[in-house]
Homo-oligomer: A and B are copies of this chain.
Amino acid sequence: MKVSAIITLKKDVLDPQGKVIQQALDGMGFKDVNEVRQGKYFEIDVKEDDPKKSRKIVEDMCNKLLANLVIEDYKIIEIQ
């Protein structure tokens, strides 16, 4: 199954990327932006047909490698 996960910086952690992108958007005329936060997106295709088990596997990957839980959170957004 294909599992999609997003990893974002925790709320109070500085997001330098988001900040600079917001400034760039502003310079291009997108003035009405409160905030931009950037994160990572993963689409992981696992050899597993059970959605629950697939989710479990990808959560495990997030915990062990993909996310650094000191500064990041993850969320599974889609399983198909």
Secondary structure at the A interface, as helix, strand, loop or mixed, is strand
Task: Write the nearest CB–CB distance from A13 to chain B, whole angstroms.
Answer: 14
Which residue from B33, B42, B45, B61 sits with its C-beta under 8 Å from A47? B33
Number of interface residues of A (CB under 8 A): 32
User: Which 5 A-B pairs rank lowest in CB-CB distance, beginning with the nearest?
Assistant: A32-B47, A39-B41, A34-B45, A41-B41, A35-B45
Task: Kindly report how many copies of this chain are found in the complex they form together.
Answer: 2
Does chain B have a CB within 8 A of A38?
yes
Q: For A36, what are the chain B residues with a Cβ–Cβ distance below 8 Å?
A: 42-45
Task: Write the nearest CB–CB distance from A8 to chain B, whole angstroms.
Answer: 7
Q: For A34, what are the chain B residues with a Cβ–Cβ distance below 8 Å?
A: 45-47
Cβ-closest chain B residue relative to A15: B43
Cβ-closest chain B residue relative to A27: B65
